[in-house]
Amino acid sequence: MFSHRVAALRPSPIREILGLVDRPGMVSFAGGLPATDTLPHPRVDLDPTTLQYGPSEGDPALRAVVSENLRGLGIDAPPERVLILSGSQQGIDLVAKLFVDPGTPVAVENPTYLAALQTFRFHGAAFTDLDWTDTPAAPLTYVVPTFANPTGRCATTAERDALARACTDGGVTLFEDDPYRELAYGPCDRTPIAARMRGGSWIYQGSFSKTFAPGLRLGFLAASDDLFPRLVMLKQAVDLHSSSLSQKIVLDAITAGTWPGRLTDLAAFYRRRRDTFDAALHRHFDGHATWSPPDGGLFFWLRLDRPVDTRTLLPEAITRNVAFMPGEEFYAGEPRLGTLRLNFSHADADATERGLRTLADLLTEQ
Ligand SMILES: Cc1ncc(COP(=O)(O)O)c(C=O)c1O
């Protein structure tokens, strides 16, 4: 009755457990949620034409602003090669459709963003480990070089240069996913790898979810000439175009003159949350785990001193009203045991203290 593609589709046990995190009193370190206090209160002056169908590529005015920003980063992205997405998750889906057949090798960091792994897996990807200094052994390489999800790591200048060169010289398509670049709290060379490519095939994407409002479901991509028209055709087949209302709200916000101030305030707010979280981690996890405070993004990556499969801890943690993401889920192949991804942006100081104490108690009892 169903297609071959969905034969291997299984509900993720983790997602099912995390479905419980909305209940009252729960401290969630699980999702990559912006702090509710940072979400905007947009007032929309709506012309009814905004509610009409629009172009698949996106609102021309929004594409122009995105293009200007990307060019400022050194990326060869004229407005004609900017595509507005219904969330950057959609970009992953479009790229997977463009490149991945059953058995197609895709080079990824290990660990990497769980929902990208799921999308590539759905299309039958065969994952290979990315080696930053060597030509990827795959036609497509997916990277989150700036404040990676889940590790928070920022790739070095040398790694960025080497990967750009390896992709160009080796005929490998670079797919750079960059939703966290604006949330920077420490020194890191954030110049995109796509800006370092001299020719070759590439896709660079970003998101308005972490800097503005995830519920608007809006992101964008730019791509090299050889890929862009195909990505637009794939998008047409998915949703015709992204929400005109969301595009209007975002366009108003980023052209209002207050946008640069918003980004600065946001980074300062999250830097404080990161530091609060780090201090609480030291109180409760010194002697149990190691970590480095991330220079950006929304996550701490913990390595426990013991190889506990943290997936087995999650149900009891949820019973005690704390949610986290087991690190094992982010590995393409055999996972490294004893890792946790903890989101620090959503919970306030009291909830953070309570949640980390509960998690540390749980670990000690195990
Ligand atoms: C690395 C990465 N890519 C893409 C996304 C998807 O973001 P959105 O679809 O909200 O733009 C996320 C969300 O957490 C992410 O961490």
- 214 in contact with ligand 1, CB cutoff 6 A: yes
Measured in angstroms, how far is the CA atom of residue 179 from the centroid of ligand 1? 6
Which pLDDT score is estimated for 200? 95
Ligand 1 atom nearest residue 90's Cα = 9
**Does residue 177 line the site of ligand 1, with CB under 6 A?**
yes
Asked if residue 366 has pLDDT above 90, the reply is: no
The pLDDT, as a whole number, for residue 8 is 73
51-69 tens-digit pLDDT: 999 999 999 999 999 999 9
pLDDT per residue as tens digits for the range 106-137: 999 999 999 999 999 999 999 999 999 889 88
Displacement of CA 74 from its chain's centroid (Å): 21
3-state class (DSSP) for residue 171: coil
* pLDDT for res 263: 97
Q: Is 343 in the pocket of ligand 1 (CB under 6 A)?
A: no
Q: What is d(CA 72, CA 65) in angstroms, rounded to the nearest whole number?
A: 11
Please state, as a whole number, how many other Cβ atoms lie within 10 Å of the Cβ of residue 271: 17
For residue 207, give the ligand 1 atom closest to its CA. 11
Topology of 4-39+261-365 in CATH?
A: Aspartate Aminotransferase, domain 1 (3.90.1150)
Which residues fall within 8 angstroms of residue 264, CB to CB, at 6 or more apart?
none
Residues 6+ apart with CB under 8 A from 5: 122, 123
Q: Over 90: is that where the pLDDT of 284 sits?
A: yes
363 close to 293: Cβ distance less than 8 angstroms: no
pLDDT at position 1 over 90? no
Distance 51 CA to ligand 1 centre (A): 26
Work out the mean pLDDT of the chain and round it to a whole number: 94
Q: What's the mean pLDDT in 285-303?
A: 97
Cβ(327) – ligand 1 distance below 6 Å? no
* Distance of alpha carbon 173 from alpha carbon 142, whole angstroms: 9
DSSP assignment letter at 201: -
Q: Which atom of ligand 1 is nearest to the CA of 86?
A: 9
Neighbours of 101 (CB within 10 A): 8
Residue 179 in contact with ligand 1 by CB distance below 6 A: yes
* Whole-angstrom distance, CA of residue 161 vs CA of residue 181: 17
Q: What is the mean pLDDT of residues 169-183?
A: 97
**Which pLDDT band, with edges at 50, 70 and 90, does 13 fall under?**
low
87 Cβ inside 6 Å of ligand 1: yes
- What are the φ and ψ backbone dihedral angles of 80, each rounded to 5 degrees? -65, -15
Distance CA 130, CA 106 (A): 9
Q: Over the range 153-188, which residues count as b (16 or more CB within 10 Å of their CB) and which as e?
A: bbbeeebbbbbbbbbbeeebbbbbbbbbbbbbbeeb
- Asked if residue 25 has pLDDT above 80, the reply is yes
Contact 321 CB / ligand 1 (< 6 Å): no
**Per-residue pLDDT averaged across 345-350, rounded?**
94
Q: How far is the CA of 67 from the centre of ligand 1 (A)?
A: 20
Q: Is the pLDDT of residue 205 over 90?
A: yes
Residues with Cβ within 8 Å of residue 260, at least 6 apart in sequence: none
Residue 231 has pLDDT above 80, yes or no: yes
Dihedral sign for Cα atoms in the order 95, 98, 99, 102 = positive
What is the per-residue pLDDT for 176? 98
- Residue 214 C-alpha to ligand 1 middle, in angstroms? 9
What is the 364 CA–ligand 1 centroid distance (Å)? 33
- Domain spans of the chain, in order of start: 4-39+261-365, 52-255
- What is the average per-residue pLDDT within 257-262? 95
- Kindly state if the Cβ of 176 falls inside 6 Å of ligand 1: no
CB 268 within 8 A of CB 181: no
Mean pLDDT of 143-164: 97
The fold adopted by the segment(s) 52-255 is: Aspartate Aminotransferase; domain 2 (3.40.640)
- pLDDT for residue 266: 97
For a ligand 1 pocket test, name from 66, 88, 93 the mutation site with the most ligand atoms within 8 angstroms of its C-beta: 88
Q: How many CB atoms lie within 10 A of CB 309?
A: 14
311 vs 14: CA distance, rounded Å: 8
Residue 133's pLDDT is 86
Ligand 1 centroid from CA 209, angstroms: 8
**Nearest-angstrom CA–CA distance, 81 and 318:** 45
Are 18 and 323 in contact by the 8 Å Cβ rule? The answer is yes
Beta bridge partners of 223: 203
Read off the pLDDT of each residue in 281-288 and give the average, rounded to a whole number: 96
Q: Ligand 1: distance of its center to the CA of 150 in Å?
A: 11
